[in-house]
Amino acid sequence: MSVNEYLLIIVAGIFVNNFVLAQFLGICAFLGVSQKTETALGMGFAVIFVMGIASIATFAVDRYILVPLDLVYIRTIAFIVIIAGLVQLVEIIIKKLSPALYSALGIYLPLITTNCAVLGVAIVNVEIASYTLLAAFMNGIFSGVGFTLAMLLLAGIREKLRRSDVPEPFKGFPVTLAAASIMSMAFVAFAGMV
């Protein structure tokens, strides 16, 4: 793949095909962990990290084990087991190597197993035939960056929203979703780029 194609993956991952605002993946985490910018950033880094590693692992397992052995039909099961195992492994390693990083990311890691963004990127990677291992890794990382960007923006808005007067039935999720709607509209502007 040429440099241009890699550049395309980066722009598409962050802006055009933004996981949250254009593809509706990882909405639970997007709504659940976006109360404060700090926690949003923490969750964001954990997601980028796991999505990068999971992309490599699932892509390699799929292309070098499942496809040659004609076992593609257990892809879903294999991927979810790999991701759950990876998350557990990452948790143990971070805990051992860097207690500071663990206390920052630790609580988010178990949540990532059921974050559909991770499984989503793994499935998207293997379904695009022209992807190489490096392209899959970059798609994982930069889709994660897009996810983090969207979550960080929403967290910023929500911090301001707390000080505004919101009608009773709209408190909580409804007003957050309305804000997400406006953000999503802004991201439509990127649609023509790729």
Partner 1 sequence: MIKKNRLGYFTDGLVKSNPVFRLVLGTCPTLALTTAAMNGVYMGICTTFVLLCSNVLVSALRKIIPDKVRIPAFMLVIATFVTIVEMVLRKFLPDIYSLLGLYLPLIVVNCIILARAEAFASMNTILDSALDGLGMGLGFTLSLIVMGGIREFIGAGSIFGFAIPGFAEKAPAFFILPAGGFLVFGLLIAAVNWLSKKAEDKMKAKAASGVHAHENMTEMLEEAPQ
User: Of the candidates 135, 146, 142, which has an alpha carbon nearest to the alpha carbon of residue 59?
Assistant: 135
- Helices 37-61 and 133-161: crossing angle in degrees, nearest 10, is 160
Decide whether 48 or 180 has the Cβ nearer to partner 1.
Answer: 180
Minimum CB separation of residue 8 from partner 1 in Å reads 20
State the nearest-atom distance from the C-beta of 4 to partner 1, in Å. 26
Shortest distance in whole angstroms from residue 142 CB to partner 1: 18
Measured from the CB of residue 192, what is the shortest distance to partner 1 in angstroms?
14
Stretch in the footprint of partner 1 (CB under 8 A) among 3-11, 37-45, 71-79, 141-149: 71-79
Sign of dihedral through CA atoms 125, 121, 9, 93? negative
> 114: burial class by Cβ within 10 Å (0-12, 13-18, 19+)?
middle
Of 39 and 114, which CB lies nearer to partner 1 in the complex structure? 114
Binding of residue 99 to partner 1 (CB under 8 A): no
If the CB atoms of residues 134 and 178 are measured against partner 1, the closer one turns out to be: 178
DSSP state of 164: S
Binding mask 20-39 for partner 1 (x = CB under 8 A): -xxxxxxxx--x--------
155 binds partner 1 (CB under 8 A): no
Give yes or no for residue 146 binding partner 1 (CB under 8 A). Answer: no
- B/e letters for 170-181, b = 16+ CB within 10 Å, e = fewer, are eeeeebbeebbe
What's the rounded Cα separation, in Å, for the pair 134 and 143?
Answer: 14
Q: What is the DSSP string of 46-101?
A: HHHHHHHHHHHHHHHHIIIIITTTT-GGGHHHHHHHHHHHHHHHHHHHHHHH-HHH
Binders of partner 1 among residues 156 to 185 (CB under 8 A) are 168-171, 173-178, 180-182, 184-185
Which residues lie near partner 1 (CB under 8 A)? 21-28, 31, 73-77, 79-81, 84, 113-116, 119-120, 123-124, 168-171, 173-178, 180-182, 184-185, 188
